[in-house]
Amino acid sequence: MITPASVASTIRVRLFASYAERLGGELIEVPAEGIRTVADLLERLRALPNGAVVGPATLVAVNLRHSPPGTAVRAGDEVAVMPPLAGG
Amino acid sequence: MSFLTRLPIQLDGLIAEVAGPDRGGIASFLGTVRDHHQGRAVRGLEYTAYEPMAEETCREILLEAAARWPVQVTLRHRLGELAIGDVAVAVVAAGGHRDEAFAACRYVIEELKGRVPVWKRETFVDGTVEWVNASQQAIGSGQSAMGETLE
């Protein structure tokens, strides 16, 4: 059950394509403690089982914008962690 | 306006969106599903997207093109399962003359491939299924895919 307290203390991460398949679904919740930036979040994801799939070419969008590693991440943001793009 | 579609892309409809009596040059690009990838025979593929961001990024790219060249320009990208030969992406640009139409069309397809969050999973003739990473970018990129070549 999601309570206000748990929402405040977790970051909801959208995953796509191979990342969703390997890391446990299209939407996962990560404890927010210790995560201040995109780089911190990626480090946390890489520590998960199959986390090695999150390679150096990973893209992150915070609130629908491509966001470099230093971008701040806060509980409540919409964060997407994406494998290299393959459109077109 | 939705730039992502699960229905077949109709080029004539896109031309009608951008054509006008003052636009004598219309350039189009169609990306279609190939029957091979890195030497392996492909049976078909499936596109998925981070849809809200993909829609917003398409809109931004079209605005950028319209700001750089005197054109009307639009695009569509298919989602879902496609067969060999199906149109996966279409860009149509209309300007007063061909130069700006070609330039804007090229800009939009290159930026789309570099920035719009879409992924494809190919099914090979041998039965294997794999996600394709056609665009290898560094963390945090999503910058212009064309650099300054069209400046």
Task: Write out the DSSP string of B48-98.
Answer: EE-HHHHHHHHHHHHHHHHHHSSEEEEEEEE-EEEETT-EEEEEEEEESSH
Size of interface A-B (CB pairs under 8 A): 106
Cβ-count burial of A35 within 10 angstroms (0-12 exposed, 13-18 middle, 19+ buried)?
buried
Contact yes or no for A66 and B136 at CB 8 A: no
Q: Report d(CA B68, CA A47) in Å as an integer.
A: 44
pLDDT at site B147: 42
pLDDT band for position A9 (50/70/90)?
Answer: confident
Contact yes or no for B142 and A66 at CB 8 A: yes
User: For chain B, what is the total number of helices (H) and then of strands (E)?
Assistant: 3, 9
Q: Report d(CA A43, CA B52) in Å as an integer.
A: 26
**Token code pair at residue B26:** 């219309």
Handedness of CA A41, A42, A47, A50 (dihedral sign): positive
Q: Which residue has the tokens 């971008």?
A: A71
Substitution target from B29, B128, B133, B139 for chain A, most A beta carbons within 10 A = B139
**A53 part of contact set with chain B, CB < 8 Å:** no
Contact yes or no for B50 and A61 at CB 8 A: yes
Single pTM value for the model: 0.88
Nearest to A86 among B54, B135, B139 (CB): B135
**A5 part of contact set with chain B, CB < 8 Å:** no
pLDDT band for position B1 (50/70/90)?
Answer: confident
Mind listing the pLDDT tens digit for each residue in B52-102?
A: 999 999 999 999 999 999 999 999 999 999 999 999 999 999 999 999 999
**B89 part of contact set with chain A, CB < 8 Å:** yes
Residue type, A26: E
Beta bridge partners of B32: B87
pLDDT above 90: percentage of residues in chain A: 85
Mind listing the pLDDT tens digit for each residue in B136-150?
A: 433 334 444 454 333
**A10 part of contact set with chain B, CB < 8 Å:** no
Contact yes or no for B113 and A87 at CB 8 A: yes
**A2 part of contact set with chain B, CB < 8 Å:** no
Helix (H, G, I), strand (E, B) or coil at B40: strand
pLDDT band for position A43 (50/70/90)?
Answer: very high
Contact yes or no for B118 and A71 at CB 8 A: no
Mean pLDDT for all residues in chain B: 90
Q: Report d(CA A42, CA A50) in Å as an integer.
A: 13
Contact yes or no for B113 and A85 at CB 8 A: yes
Q: Report d(CA B63, CA B53) in Å as an integer.
A: 15
pLDDT band for position A8 (50/70/90)?
Answer: low
Residue of A nearest to B119 (CA): A86
Beta bridge partners of B119: B48
